[in-house]
Structure 1
Amino acid sequence: MLENIINSVKGQLTGELQNKFQLQPDTASKSVDLAKDSLAAGLKQQASSGDFGGMMDILKGQKSPTEHSGMNSMIGNYVNDLTTKLGVPESIAKQVGPFVISFLMNKVSGKVSADGTSQSDLMGMFGGIKDKLSGGLGDKLGGLFK
């Protein structure tokens, strides 16, 4: 689901990165791909750390992405990746990071709200994370998403 949403807005986001931050087309496209990977990894990490409730608040549009410490950590990791992997200057990456992650999370949140996506569907977005959680926590969480 996450990949489909990001792929559906990639052209729009790439254009915005070129217009707002003067990124070259190739760099803008790679920035979106990098954001997809960063966001997926970050969401899975947050869910597996037991902070699924905080992520649910964001995915359901009840909190903005920048109101959550885990999202700020994802943004920081993404900014680092932009500078080290794509050579984006740090001053620009620090502007691009929050913009891109917030943009994508707002699109995901909008899709969740518009489609009436169930919590179990959201769990699927995390790659079946409930099966990977230890100590029976996965089963307990799984019961919440039925």
Structure 2
Amino acid sequence: MIENLINNLKGQLTGELQSKYNLQPDTANKSVDLAKENLTDELKQRASSGDLGGIMDVFKGNKAPGESSAVNNVINKYVADLTGRLGIPESVAKQVAPFAIHFIMQKVGGQVSSGNVSQTDLLGGLIGGGLKDKLGKGLGGLFK
């Protein structure tokens, strides 16, 4: 589900990266794909360890993205991928990464807080049915 949400805002984010950071269309497009990959990888890792509270607080609007260690972890990995995999200069990557991740978190969070997307729907594709049932009890009723 989160992949679909990110895909839906890909065009808008790609355009923002082109206009704000002068990225070429292909590089901006690949940058969004890397952002999606980094964010979903972090969510999967946290879901498998039962540690989704902090990142869900960001999605629910209870915490700013910059206050979340999970979001900061995504941004740091994303900077490394932007420089290493796409060849974007580190100085630019350090501007692009927080902008792109915060943009995604804000847009996805808006869908969650407006009720258009439930937390269960958001995380369902990441953790699957059986694991979701096991984690639900250990996550303080996150899936209620």
Deviations 1:30-69 (A, max 9, x none): 0001111111001122233332111221110111111111
Residue correspondence of structure 1 range 59-70 to structure 2 within 5 A: 59-70=59-70
Q: Is the 8 A contact 1:130 1:142 kept in 2?
A: no
Identity of aligned residues (%): 59
RMSD of aligned C-alpha atoms? 2.2
CA distance in 2, matches of 1:113, 1:56: 11
1:140 to 116, 125, 137: 137
Return the offset for 1:127.
3.1
CA distance in 2, matches of 1:65, 1:143: 21
Return the offset for 1:73.
0.8
Kindly provide the amino acid, as one letter, of the partner of residue 111 in structure 1: Q
Kindly provide the amino acid, as one letter, of the partner of residue 83 in structure 1: T
5+ unaligned residues in a row in structure 1: which ranges? none
Residue correspondence of structure 1 range 30-69 to structure 2 within 5 A: 30-69=30-69
Return the offset for 1:70.
1.4
Residues 130 and 62 from structure 1, CA distance in 2 versus in 1: closer, same or farther, beyond 3 angstroms? Answer: farther
CA distance in 1, matches of 2:4, 2:52: 21
Residues 109 and 66 from structure 1, CA distance in 2 versus in 1: closer, same or farther, beyond 3 angstroms? Answer: same
TM-score, structure 1 length as denominator? 0.87
Kindly provide the amino acid, as one letter, of the partner of residue 96 in structure 1: V
Task: Report which structure shows greater RCO (CA 8 Å, sep ≥6).
Answer: 2
Kindly provide the amino acid, as one letter, of the partner of residue 47 in structure 1: A
Residue correspondence of structure 1 range 1-146 to structure 2 within 5 A: 1-128=1-128, 131=131, 138=135, 140-141=137-138, 144=141, 145-146=143-144
Q: Is the 8 A contact 1:48 1:129 kept in 2?
A: no
Aligned length: 143
